[in-house]
Chain A
Amino acid sequence: MQLKQSTQLKSLLTTATCALLGSTTTQANELENWQFDTALMVYSEVDRVSAAEAIIAGERTYDNDQVLNLKLTLDALTGASANGAVAQPHVQTFTRPSGKGQYQADANTTPLDDTFKDTRVQLTGQWTQPLSDGYTWSVGGNFSKEFDYMSLSGNTNIAKDFNKKNTTVSAGIALAFDQIKPKGGIPDPLTPMIISDLISGYDDEGEDDDDGINPSSIASSDNKTTVDLLFGVTQVINRRMLVQMNYSFSQVDGYMTDPYKILSVLDINGISQEYRYEKRPDSRQKHAFYLQTKYHFEHSIIDASYRFMTDDWGINSHTVDLRYRIMLAGDHYIEPHLRFYKQAAADFYQPFLNQGTALPEFASADYRIGEMDTYTLGIKYGMPMKSGQKLAFRVEYYNQAPKNAGFTQPGVLAEQQIYESIDAIIAQVSYSF
């Protein structure tokens, strides 16, 4: 029964994909050339953002070892996220991004913008084919659309095998164009948020559906371009071990400010006087060094990676990721996962602005570019099904602990928790057939 259903699903998907690709006949053995991977994930933060994401990916292998990968991703996001303002001993009122309506934050709580609501559709395609003399060439594209965002990118990559395929050297380039069209328009950076009684009263619906223009808006949209370069070496060490080393360079130009984020402007007593929209530089250069190794023990595999990233915003980060797959009887497996991440704050990060001092050139109170440690603890369980299908479950716990990067909290702010930690649960089911 199960088997039959799965075969039907596969044939349905194959027919659909073939129809999309424009081939009219679906041969019986066309099925055998396709491999489908699906995943459904739920991400949930305590009292904040919740997201659900579904992926379906198809891989078709052709006679000459060419491979076509197609992937469709859908995700939906709701909930509240920190708007950048600091907690205060009194209730705070903010203007919604649309410029219409307001929302409030209770006394002594981190202000959250509950407007957060989005759905995204993403389509990815990649074509990989072997050339002569151990070369492999790959080319791909990506399109992604959400309510206020659009991204278009293309990439190409060339790899060469040496030394009986024990060494692989690769180089690739990716170009991306992203456009952001925020609700209410692009706010004038570092200008005060206009909180007027004329702007209709407090609405507690947590919705912001009006296509209004925020009075602080200076444009309806903005964009950025990204150039990524990736160089890699993969080396087989012995029958049980292989190592990969990558260097990647990324140059981003354009609008990288978060239009929904603000900073509190505090007086010497730590009392908030106004809020100003954040402003980030319009250029960012990133370098990342990545090292990964896999080792096959008799009945387990360790997968360890380390990444060092540094950029000209002053952010340095270290990421360690460890996965240990323990093979059980009957091709079942259990895989504990540990991840540690540590980042330094961007040069222009500051948790608030001080009244009476000159405005900096750039400023952001977004905790995501502040000093922070995070860790992830997870476990995955996988099992084979009757005829080659695979089922896996994954549960993870993610903790973010923002840190004070050396800022003193004046007056009443000393009593406030402005580096609140965030807990999230990630649950995922994967099915391959």
Chain B
Amino acid sequence: MVYLRALFITMLLLTTTFSMANSLDQLEKKLADLKGQVVYLDFWASWCGPCRKSFPWMNEIQAKYKDQGFTVVSINVDHDKTLADKFLQEMPANFSVIYDPKGKIAQQFKLKGMPSSYLIDRDGEIVSAHVGFIEKKKAIYEQAIKQLIQQ
């Protein structure tokens, strides 16, 4: 019995460490797959107000520029995945979502606020970043994307 429980706990620990490492691996793999494309990397959470406002816009740019080698990749930092899923039901995303419940990716990127967005060029280099989503700056955000695509 004790033996069984020890085994169970070891397995649990292994799976959690695995899934913790997993979010970082997932992103690495995703970015490797998207090499040669311009990527808009966005960190969001269900509890973040401006994130909600950014979703329709991200759907829009994804649709508008996908044929020119552009992809939106989002990273959800909700502790509880069910809250993220509930958000996505109200606010469907037509771009991919990587779940980072332990904040492993967020930690690596040293986020300064929510939402945080990064623009990655075709060589996989981060060229710009911004914190927050301000309605009035949508044109500026889009301009930066357009420029990078045309480079």
A residues whose Cβ falls under 8 Å from a Cβ of B: 63-65, 164-165
Contact = CB atoms under 8 A, between A and B. Distances in A.
Interface size class of B (residues with CB under 8 A): under 10
A187 B113 CA distance: 60
Contact of A64 (B112, B113, B134): B134
Contacts of A63: 134-136
Interface in B107-144: 112-113, 134-136
Main secondary structure of the interface of B (DSSP, over half): loop
Contacts of B135: 63-64
Contacts of A165: 113
Nearest to A62: B135
Contacts of A164: 112-113
Nearest to A165: B113
A106 to B, nearest CB: 60
Interface of B: 112-113, 134-136
Contacts of B113: 164-165
A165 B112 CA distance: 10
A65 B135 CA distance: 10
Contacts of B112: 164
Contacts of A64: 134-136
A263 B113 CA distance: 61
A64 B138 CA distance: 12
10 contacts: A63-B134, A63-B135, A63-B136, A64-B134, A64-B135, A64-B136, A65-B134, A164-B112, A164-B113, A165-B113
A164 B112 CA distance: 7
B116 to A, nearest CB: 12
A64 B137 CA distance: 10
B51 to A, nearest CB: 14
A165 B135 CA distance: 22
Q: What 8 A-B pairs have minimum CB-CB distances, sorted nearest first?
A: A63-B135, A63-B136, A64-B136, A64-B134, A63-B134, A164-B112, A165-B113, A65-B134
Contacts of A65: 134
A128 to B, nearest CB: 15
Given A63-B136, A64-B134, A64-B136, 7 more contacts: A63-B134, A63-B135, A64-B135, A65-B134, A164-B112, A164-B113, A165-B113
A63 B135 CA distance: 6
A88 B134 CA distance: 70
A64 B136 CA distance: 7
B26 to A, nearest CB: 24
A187 to B, nearest CB: 55
Contacts of B134: 63-65
A165 B113 CA distance: 9
A84 B134 CA distance: 59
A123 B136 CA distance: 31
A64 B50 CA distance: 11
A65 B53 CA distance: 12
B50 to A, nearest CB: 8
A65 B113 CA distance: 15
Nearest to A65: B134
B107 to A, nearest CB: 13
A269 B136 CA distance: 79
A65 B132 CA distance: 11
Nearest to A61: B49
A64 B135 CA distance: 7
A164 B135 CA distance: 22
Nearest to A63: B135
Nearest to A239: B79
A24 to B, nearest CB: 22
Nearest to B112: A164
A333 B135 CA distance: 34
A165 B48 CA distance: 15
Contacts of B136: 63-64
A165 B132 CA distance: 14
Nearest to B111: A164
A65 B134 CA distance: 8
Nearest to B136: A63
Nearest to A164: B112
